[in-house]
Amino acid sequence: MSDQFKYTAGFHNVGSYQVSSEPWLSSSITVPANSGTPLEISFPKITKFLIVRNDSGSSGDLRVGFSALGVQGAVNENYAILSGSESLSVDYRVKSVFLLSHTTTPQTASIVAGLTMIPPRNFGNWTGSSGVG
Instruction: Give all domains of the chain, ordered by start, each with its CATH number.
Output: 3-122 (2.60.120.770)
Q: Give tens-digit pLDDT for 10-47.
A: 766 777 767 889 999 999 999 999 999 999 999 999 99
**Alpha-carbon span 87 to 79, nearest angstrom:** 13
Q: φ and ψ at 70, to 5 degrees?
A: -60, -45
Q: Give tens-digit pLDDT for 74-103.
A: 667 889 999 989 999 999 989 999 999 999
